[in-house]
Structure 1
Amino acid sequence: MSATLNSVGTSRPAISALTPIDLDTVDAIQAIRTLAQQPEHARSNFLVDCSQLKCLRSLGVSYVVSQLLLLHQSGSGVWLCNVSPVLKRCLKLLRLDSLFRSV
Structure 2
Amino acid sequence: MPFLHQHVVSDTSLTSGFTPKSINLDVVEATQVARALARDATQTHPQLIIDCSHLKCLRTLGVSHVISELLVLHKAGANIWLRNADPALLHCLALLKLTHIFRASPKLA
State the TM-score bracket (shorter-chain normalisation). Answer: 0.7 to 0.9
Normalising by structure 2, we get a TM-score of 0.78
Cα displacement (A) at 1:41: 3.6
Cα displacement (A) at 1:12: 3.0
Match of 2:34 in 1: 32
Matched, 1:20 2:33: no
Q: Deviations over 1:8-28 (max 9, x none)?
A: xxx4326x8211000001111
Q: Deviations over 1:40-95 (max 9, x none)?
A: 14421100000000000000000000000010011110111001011111111111
- Secondary structure in 1 matching 2:90: helix
Name the count of aligned residue pairs: 95
Please say which of residues 74-83 and 16-25 is displaced more in the overlay.
16-25
Match of 1:86 in 2: 88
Amino acid at match of 2:31: I
**1:3 and 1:13 in contact (8 A); partners too:** yes
Amino acid at match of 1:61: V
Cα displacement (A) at 1:3: 6.8
Percent identity for Structure 1 against Structure 2: 45
Structure 2: gaps spanning 5 or more residues: 1-9
Structure 1: gaps spanning 5 or more residues: 5-10
Map of 1:1-103 to 2, 5 A cutoff?
4=12, 11-13=13-15, 17-103=19-105
CA distance in 1, matches of 2:34, 2:61: 21
CA RMSD of superposed structures (Å)? 2.0
Normalising by structure 1, we get a TM-score of 0.82
CA distance in 2, matches of 1:30, 1:60: 20
